[in-house]
Structure 1
Amino acid sequence: MIPVSSSNLSAVGYDSLTGTLSIEFHDGRLYEYYNVPQRIYEGLMNSPSKGQYFHRFIRDSYYTTKLR
Structure 2
Amino acid sequence: MSIPEMQPVSSSNIAAVGYDPDTENAYVEFLDGSTYAYKGVPEYEFNNLLTAASVGSYLNRSFKNVYPYERL
- Using the size of structure 2 for normalisation, the TM-score is 0.89
Q: How does 1:1-68 map to 2 (within 5 A)?
A: 1-67=6-72
Tell me how far 1:39 sits from its aligned partner.
1.1
Tell me how far 1:4 sits from its aligned partner.
0.6
Q: What is the CA–CA distance in structure 2 between the aligned matches of 1:60 and 1:7, rounded to whole Å?
A: 21
| 1:26-68 per-position Cα deviation (integer Å, ceiling 9, x unaligned) | 011100010000111010001010010000000111111101x
Unaligned runs of 5+ in 2: 1-5
- Using the size of structure 1 for normalisation, the TM-score is 0.94
Paired residues, what number?
67
Identity %: 42
Q: What is the CA–CA distance in structure 1 between the aligned matches of 2:33 and 2:8, rounded to whole Å?
A: 13
Superposed CA RMSD in Å reads 0.6
